[in-house]
Structure 1
Amino acid sequence: MITAVVLAGYAILVGAAAPYALSRARWAHRAPIVGVLAWLGLMVTFVVSTALALYHLVLTEEHVHDGIVGLLSVCGLATGDPAGGSTPTLGDAAGLLAPAAIVLLPVGWLVRTAWRTRRARRRHLDLLTLVGTPAPEYGATVVEHGVPAVYCLPGRSCRIVVTRGALDVLSDEQLRAVLEHERSHIAGRHDVLHVVTEAFARAFPGLPLARQAKEQITLLLEMVADDRALRFHPREVLATAMCEVADARAPQAAMGAGGPGSLIRLHRVLTPHDRPHRATWLGVVTASVAAPLLPLLVACGPTV
């Protein structure tokens, strides 16, 4: 019972308190890739700790006292009798439904979200074949629309879209800067992380971690793309281009250079920043990997 309380407290800490602390961490904007890893680590940790807490609550005391061996025995993955000497019953197997649901719920939403995103992307690609004009010199498709916008449709049939309004207000160098931003999204498969965070948010609505992770990972991925563009273009060029397309909203299943968080990104682009100290990001990476393992270590040994 004590183990269940510890695991439940750990899940509450990760799901309700840690997100607010991480969202205020200054180092995350200086090392956005590490920041994304930290948020993903919290998401995995919440699922693991919550599932194990429910396992210790719903299964019979004999199997719980056998730790992870008891869990494997109930699942039929361990041979022989557990140390407690009891044989798993049908009720014990049924008790696994609750912890299994915590794991399968985000997985189910992941499959559904990926399917809906892929379907929306296909519809948009079909529309582009009708209204878009190829622009080989930019590696993009031009759409006759007055609002300045630049966005990409990631995936196998990836496409970068530029509106006529963007061509009218952006210089050639500014346009190439935002195009590099979009190529970073495509090359890094940032759309996959968007699907993961969307699925987690739908699986656990109302959870602070779900809401914060979705917002922060979206912002951090835009910063990753900004950093890629800054490798090839001056800060002022990218910042000016961002201002021109800041009000544009990317269609469903697409990723755009503007949208929410533009002011934060603009300040970051115009303000040179150093990467966090090596000890800082090494500590964050280690903690992100270790956090999901702690509940497993608690569950591996005999409980008290």
Structure 2
Amino acid sequence: MLTPYFLACLAILLAWPVPLWLQRAKWPSRAPEAALILWQAIGLSGGLALVTAPLTWGLQPFGSGIFSAGMELWNVFLEGSIEDVFTDDRWAPLGLAAVTLGCILFGHLALVLLHTAYTTFSQRKKHREFVEVLSASLGEHDHGLEEASGSTSSTRVLPVEHPLAYCLPAMSQPITVVSRGLLDELSPRQLAAVLAHESAHLTQRHDLLRLAFQAWHKAAPWFPATRAAVNEVTELTEIMADDAALSQHGRTDLTSALVHTLAEPAQSASEPPSGEAPQKSDATASRRFKRLITPDTPLGSCRVSLVIISAGLLIAVPAVVSLF
């Protein structure tokens, strides 16, 4: 049966050459939403293929797919005992070891995702408490923040001179954090554009998208493609937040405001200093700034549809092949 070998080849392709190819492609900035969907499909399909390749190989004497093989093993258990399942004569040499490997890989990916989520949310909670304490010493209205944002209920000001702006997502009452140094440098229109950018991160829950790829990188840090995926997804979410801000504010206001954050290597917008997101490289900041100055022509609807259909097939094909 060729299914295990197909899944193994797909896992290799999605773990190495495909992400690196997509990283070098020029079109994602022209259709960031479609590109982000494709990145998610690559991650899900790659993980699925990695887990199901050894499972289907080990279970092939019992059925053509994981579902049918599992039902056959369940019947063996009902007619006998759990010992009969492991001592069945149909097991191929190393078949049980392959199934065990698939279960270990699935457990590894699931545990890394849970650990990454727990660590991120814990750090974010502590960081928020830290921000609340520091921001209590400074009145936002003293710097015109109330006028720029329309509301101070979700915005906090840190009494530091370093210019920075980022957001802290939460299920309830997310907040945007800006520094006194940034407020001193920006006009009300520039500040409003920055706050709109951060608000887009919060409403679109970009943190959850980044979290999955951060877990993927932690699960397999030896693959350069996982680091590429984290960087590219981070850049795409920044582009989407830029586009959301541009729908409400002038391009000049946003571009000039971001000069104060992108030019500062110590902090980058939308990434709190707790370390929950990787720092963007100079090349990433340069591409983002260049896109703001010289807007890209949006990708055609036909090509966008093709990307989305490809992403759907990328997930559906290995799922159907491995299960049935």
Match of 1:168 in 2: 184
CA distance, structure 2, for counterparts of residue 277 and residue 77 of structure 1: 52
Trace 1:54-133 onto structure 2 (pairs within 5 A): 54-59=54-59, 61-63=60-62, 65-73=63-71, 76=74, 88-89=85-86, 95-132=98-135, 133=138
CA distance, structure 2, for counterparts of residue 134 and residue 227 of structure 1: 30
1:145 paired with 2:160, answer yes
Deviation at 1:123, TM superposition (A): 1.2
Superimposed CA distance per residue, residues 226-265 of structure 1 (whole angstroms, 9 cap, x where no aligned partner): 0001011111111111111111513126679987522111
The total of aligned residue pairs comes to 294
Deviation at 1:174, TM superposition (A): 0.6
Q: Secondary structure at the match of 1:240?
A: helix
Match of 1:288 in 2: 311
Partner amino acid, structure 1, of 2:64: D
Match of 1:232 in 2: 248
Please identify, of 148-157 and 1-10, the stretch whose mean Cα deviation from structure 2 is larger: 1-10
Unaligned runs of 5+ in 1: 82-86
Match of 1:135 in 2: 140
1:211 paired with 2:210, answer no
CA distance, structure 2, for counterparts of residue 234 and residue 26 of structure 1: 25
Deviation at 1:119, TM superposition (A): 1.2
CA distance, structure 1, for counterparts of residue 274 and residue 260 of structure 2: 21
Q: Secondary structure at the match of 2:176?
A: strand
Alignment RMSD: 2.7
Deviation at 1:89, TM superposition (A): 3.0
Match of 2:292 in 1: 269
Partner amino acid, structure 1, of 2:86: T
Match of 1:32 in 2: 32
Answer yes or no: is the 8 Å Cα contact 1:242–1:257 preserved in 2: no
Deviation at 1:277, TM superposition (A): 0.8
CA distance, structure 2, for counterparts of residue 100 and residue 241 of structure 1: 49
Partner amino acid, structure 1, of 2:9: G
Identity between Structure 1 and Structure 2 (%): 28
Partner amino acid, structure 2, of 1:252: S
Superimposed CA distance per residue, residues 173-199 of structure 1 (whole angstroms, 9 cap, x where no aligned partner): 111101100000010111111211111
Answer yes or no: is the 8 Å Cα contact 1:55–1:99 preserved in 2: yes
CA distance, structure 1, for counterparts of residue 281 and residue 182 of structure 2: 15
Deviation at 1:112, TM superposition (A): 1.0
Residues 299 and 141 of structure 1, relative CA distance in 2, 3 Å threshold:
closer
**TM-score scaled by structure 2?**
0.82
Residues 152 and 68 of structure 1, relative CA distance in 2, 3 Å threshold:
same
Partner amino acid, structure 2, of 1:76: W
Deviation at 1:99, TM superposition (A): 1.3
Answer yes or no: is the 8 Å Cα contact 1:150–1:256 preserved in 2: no
CA distance, structure 1, for counterparts of residue 108 and residue 304 of structure 2: 31
Trace 1:177-216 onto structure 2 (pairs within 5 A): 177-216=193-232
Unaligned runs of 5+ in 2: none
1:252 paired with 2:257, answer no
